[in-house]
Structure 1
Amino acid sequence: MIIKAVMLLVFFGVMVCIGLYCRKNATDVNGFVLGGRSVGPWLTAFAYGTSYFSAVVFVGYAGQFGWKYGIAATWAGIGNALLGSLLAWVVLGRRTRIMTQHLDSATMPEFFGKRFGSTSLKIAASIIIFIFLIPYTASLYNGLSRLFGMAFDIDYTVCVIVMAVLTGIYVIAGGYMATAINDFIQGIIMLFGISAVIVAVLQSQGGFMAALESLAKVSNETASGPVAGAPGVFASFFGPDPVNLLGVVILTSLGTWGLPQMVQKFYAIKSEKSIDTGTVISTLFALVVAGGCYFLGGFGRLFADVVGVTENGTPVGGFDAVIPAMLSGLPDILLAVVVILVLSASMSTLSSLVLTSSSTLTLDLLKGHVVKDMDEKRQVFIMRCLIVVFIAISVVLAIIQYKSSVTFIAQLMGVSWGALAGAFLAPFLYGLYWKKATKTACWVSFLFSTIVMVANIFVRSSFPTLLQSPINAGAFCMIAGLVIVPVVSLFTAKPDQKLVDDAFSCYEEKVLVSQRQALGDRK
């Protein structure tokens, strides 16, 4: 217990000290929200990765999908690395950095407003972000409850409040730069932590091959999917239900392309070299952390005797109980590492979400609309105040859900990722690449995804069987948006040519680079 307490105190102390150290970088809007657009490749890549993966992935998703799909759940982690990280950086990184600086936009709604010449579009985007990021923020605390209950004799409410307060201190003090530096440290902890945990868990089952052989013998009578009755299905390449597994891969991988807290990381990139280096680092980080989490979860059924199984084949206490059950037999020192790992994952994502929410609400909704005259100092002050508000709301929601039978919040958490990514992915992507995209098409994409995902909460039984799952519905919205935007754009009023030409002129500006980056025209 002393070792665990000391490790936690050191961890929290470092986080707060970094926040106070970075105060000098958070005196204006550009510094507070984007770190002065001077963040290097390692910090940017780790900020992207740690914002991507939280306790929701480590405890919730890894436990749930590992239990359902067995070792095939690892495909979700591979998809996160290749589609959610590698391809996202290659397709969005450079263009996002160039156009957002040219348009002088610090948030995703501000990009929509300036790129499509529509203030109402900017306001609508900021409202969608405000509504759907709050429940997502509250969900970050869920994974902590069981782990803290297992490792410490501390009330969950106290844990949530302490984590929220400490995160708030370093974000409010140092803004994006403090978040990025802390994300780097937290990312290192996540890399080493997940690697150590996987080795320890597999060793407890006799090693990788022995664990895989045991998994192949697990009864699959309660598994769902077209090949549920096949022998050894949980140790197979694609698992018992490849169609629904594909929905998981699409939602958790392609979703990053439209999430404001993820895309805004590209706004702050320092240079061309940072993009190239960041792409590699981010991809490797995702492969280890996400791939490791889902890979670990894939062996969850080997611990059925610890977690317990209900008559319908689900874990006693829900899917969130799977990973804690797998970790319950670890040595104390490793348990302390796991707790800090999950804290790191949760605090890094929490800091990113509250910074995104506060900056969006301040710059896109309050500035110029509710408060007419707002100088730089006042904008930063309001953002800091809103960070406190957002964290407080998320804490209240988390505690209400934990201590009562309220399920609505949990449902809303499940659809928030699908609603945000479904609404924004296509308009943002086409906005960077295609001159003919119209603001009407953006509106249709916004409305389509939010209506579908909200309907999925209240009238889920009316949906086709495949789309009754919020995960599949979210994946459907993302893919549908990629079709909706170009089709609607072809049948609606063309965008203002001058506005479009000005936005895309940034790509034609000439820059000087060394020959190691580009060959010259000399013969």
Structure 2
Amino acid sequence: MKGDTIQIFVSMVIYMAIVIGIGLYFSKRANESSENYFLGGRSLGPLVTAMSAEASDMSGWLLMGLPGVAYWYGLSDAAWTAIGLAAGTYLNWLFVAKRLHNYSVIAGDSITLPDFFSNRFKEKNKFIMTISAIFILVFFTVYASSCFVTVGKLFNSLFGFKYQYMMIAGAAFVLFYTYIGGFLAETASDTMQAFVMIIALVIILFVGTAAAGGLVVVVQNAQAIPGFFEFFGIASPTVADGIQQSVNGVPQFGPAGNYGWYTILSTLAWGLGYFGMPQVLLRFMAIRDSRELTQSRRIATVWVVISLGAAVALGIIGRSLFPTDLKTYSASESIFIVMSSRLLPSMLAGFVMAGILAATISSSDSYLLIAASAFSKNIYQHLIKKNATDNQVMNMSRIILVLITLIGIVIALDEKSVIFTIVSFAWAGFGATFGPITILSLFWKRTTREGAIAGMMSGGIAVFVWKLVLKPMGGLFGVYELLPAFLVSCVFIYIVSLMTREPSKEIQDEFELAKKKSMEN
């Protein structure tokens, strides 16, 4: 490696060493009990709750996937996605956070999302718990693979190392410190990484704008590309075999595409996903005092608005600075890396690009831990070995951590994978499977166990059917699968709940108690 590259590498190694140190520091406390390992003993403060929730949610797509969309297609697709996500973040913290925290304590002191659903409906055969755990395992394995793709692309772009080797090394690193530190290590490192991510975005935003000649020049360049700088239009790169064509160093684009209200509604639907994201909902459950969630909401909202806005802007600025450097949609997701390595001193570039590692690590650790807890607590302990000790549950969770990592590695082996596409599918899966039942179980007393099962099953299945069968037909079926699947789930919950016997007095009394406590706080 060259001198500059070595400095970048050293900066990132130092960063990774700090993360491992955090895992080691919390390992003793994490291993005291399964509640500490999976939920941190409900001891999180408002800052850690907010920052770790957002860092674990955004993943590597914030610094690679979203800027890549803006670089390739222009403003509209990326901006409307960001607007939907910002709105969803705020509404989730406003309406769901406090009620879920209080209800999860009242409903059997639940420490996982499947626990809460099962305890909420007082089920004896644990069917809701089982299907919840299965969906979490499936979608979080896909989600984790997107993080491994991010790490592989990062080190391949920076150092020229073989993508597959770097992807596997990154997966092993995340597995190691999640394995030893559990939820406490995860939330502490996520908080640090949230600061790294937003600082990295802001630094590149200002440096990139200055290097491009100022904001006016960036806007003029973007407006010169048909549909690139429009909210109701979209750029159409001219490609041959997936590679964008250029003439005399000028990237070629076709006529602007139309970005109508139906497409906008589809893109805004990203915000619905928040109501079903286990890694975010778990932070609501883990805070030490529900009254502190108001402060957490403000912190989280500010962080999200700044981060998403900066990520979209980077894609626009990157097209002005490096118009022909990234010739495929997959390659466009490296625009943040290109800007960092070319515009900053080596050591600072290493710090900034640690932001990508931060985004990736802060998400993948959450995905692995929640998926492992879903199996070990909700399937192994309740169905397979009902008399399992706390140590046996934690040992099983670590076995599942390894298995999920291996499956995620297999999914991520293709270096042409597009991070944004992988994330969008898993996001839709969680949003449609858990979003409607989370909202209705918290705010509609008439929701029944049968309605919950019907809603979760129909929402999860609808994502697969719409994505794989209907969406390829185009037209009205081209809408993001989260929107129709979310609506399908809501309809099934409502209709089946009305068709079945109303919840028992015990369930209704708990609902009213959770409602009252949330209003008091």
Give the TM-score category using the shorter length: 0.7 to 0.9
Q: Deviations over 1:16-74 (max 9, x none)?
A: 11111112321101111111101111111111110111112321233125532426733
Alpha carbons 1:367, 1:373 under 8 Å: kept: yes
What residue in structure 1 maps to residue 410 of structure 2?
396
Alpha carbons 2:151, 2:170 under 8 Å: kept: no
Alignment of 1:22-421 (within 5 A): 22-26=26-30, 27-65=32-70, 67-70=72-75, 73-81=78-86, 83-103=87-107, 104-118=109-123, 119-220=126-227, 240-251=259-270, 253-302=271-320, 305-307=323-325, 315=328, 319-324=332-337, 326-327=339-340, 329-331=342-344, 332-399=346-413, 401-402=414-415, 414-421=424-431
Alpha carbons 1:258, 1:424 under 8 Å: kept: yes
* CA separation of 1:323 and 1:246: change in aligned 2, threshold 3 A: farther
What residue in structure 2 maps to residue 521 of structure 1?
none
Q: CA deviation at 1:479?
A: 3.7
Q: CA deviation at 1:341?
A: 0.8
Structure-1 separation of matches of 2:390 and 2:15: 33
Say which is worse superposed, 180-189 or 296-305, in terms of deviation: 296-305
Structure-2 separation of matches of 1:273 and 1:3: 45
State the percentage of identical aligned residues.
23
Structure-2 separation of matches of 1:446 and 1:44: 27
Residue 442 of structure 2 corresponds to residue 424 of structure 1? no
Structure-2 separation of matches of 1:145 and 1:245: 32
* CA separation of 1:170 and 1:216: change in aligned 2, threshold 3 A: same
Alpha carbons 2:211, 2:321 under 8 Å: kept: no
Q: CA deviation at 1:169?
A: 2.4
What amino acid is aligned across from residue 499 of structure 1 in structure 2? I
Residue 493 of structure 2 corresponds to residue 489 of structure 1? no
Alpha carbons 1:66, 1:295 under 8 Å: kept: no
The alignment partner of 1:307 has SS state of coil
Gaps (5+ residues) in structure 1? 310-314, 518-523
Normalising by structure 2, we get a TM-score of 0.86
Q: Deviations over 1:422-481 (max 9, x none)?
A: 011111111111110112222222222222221234324565623335xx1112222443
* CA separation of 1:156 and 1:335: change in aligned 2, threshold 3 A: farther
* CA separation of 1:350 and 1:336: change in aligned 2, threshold 3 A: same
Q: CA deviation at 1:228?
A: 7.5
What residue in structure 2 maps to residue 312 of structure 1?
none
* CA separation of 1:169 and 1:486: change in aligned 2, threshold 3 A: same
Structure-1 separation of matches of 2:394 and 2:197: 31
What residue in structure 1 maps to residue 481 of structure 2?
473
Structure-2 separation of matches of 1:228 and 1:244: 14
What residue in structure 1 maps to residue 457 of structure 2?
447
What amino acid is aligned across from residue 457 of structure 2 in structure 1? L
Alignment of 1:450-465 (within 5 A): 450-460=460-470, 463=473, 465=475
Q: Deviations over 1:254-297 (max 9, x none)?
A: 21111112211111011144212211111111112122112222
Structure-1 separation of matches of 2:446 and 2:61: 38
What amino acid is aligned across from residue 102 of structure 1 in structure 2? I
Alpha carbons 1:58, 1:293 under 8 Å: kept: yes
* CA separation of 1:193 and 1:373: change in aligned 2, threshold 3 A: same
Normalising by structure 1, we get a TM-score of 0.86
Say which is worse superposed, 489-498 or 114-123, in terms of deviation: 489-498
Say which is worse superposed, 491-500 or 353-362, in terms of deviation: 491-500
Quick one: which of 494, 499, 507 aligns to 2:507?
Answer: 499
Alpha carbons 1:99, 1:504 under 8 Å: kept: no
What amino acid is aligned across from residue 4 of structure 1 in structure 2? I
Q: CA deviation at 1:350?
A: 0.4
The alignment partner of 1:369 has SS state of helix
What amino acid is aligned across from residue 287 of structure 2 in structure 1? I
Q: Deviations over 1:77-111 (max 9, x none)?
A: 34323x23222111111111111111221111111
* CA separation of 1:7 and 1:273: change in aligned 2, threshold 3 A: farther
Alpha carbons 1:39, 1:269 under 8 Å: kept: yes
Alpha carbons 1:133, 1:357 under 8 Å: kept: yes
When the two structures are aligned, how many residues end up with a matched partner?
493
Say which is worse superposed, 178-187 or 200-209, in terms of deviation: 200-209
Alpha carbons 2:62, 2:311 under 8 Å: kept: yes
Alignment of 1:3-22 (within 5 A): 3-22=7-26
What amino acid is aligned across from residue 84 of structure 1 in structure 2? G
Structure-2 separation of matches of 1:226 and 1:219: 8
Say which is worse superposed, 422-431 or 148-157, in terms of deviation: 148-157
Structure-2 separation of matches of 1:463 and 1:117: 42
The alignment partner of 1:493 has SS state of coil
* CA separation of 1:200 and 1:446: change in aligned 2, threshold 3 A: same
Structure-2 separation of matches of 1:158 and 1:141: 11
Q: CA deviation at 1:223?
A: 9.9
* CA separation of 1:378 and 1:145: change in aligned 2, threshold 3 A: closer
What residue in structure 2 maps to residue 435 of structure 1?
445
What amino acid is aligned across from residue 266 of structure 2 in structure 1? G
The alignment partner of 1:105 has SS state of coil
Q: Deviations over 1:386-423 (max 9, x none)?
A: 22222222123212x22xx899x997654222122101
Structure-2 separation of matches of 1:39 and 1:101: 15
Alpha carbons 1:218, 1:302 under 8 Å: kept: no
What amino acid is aligned across from residue 433 of structure 1 in structure 2? F
What amino acid is aligned across from residue 213 of structure 1 in structure 2? Q
Alpha carbons 1:69, 1:241 under 8 Å: kept: no
Structure-2 separation of matches of 1:121 and 1:135: 21
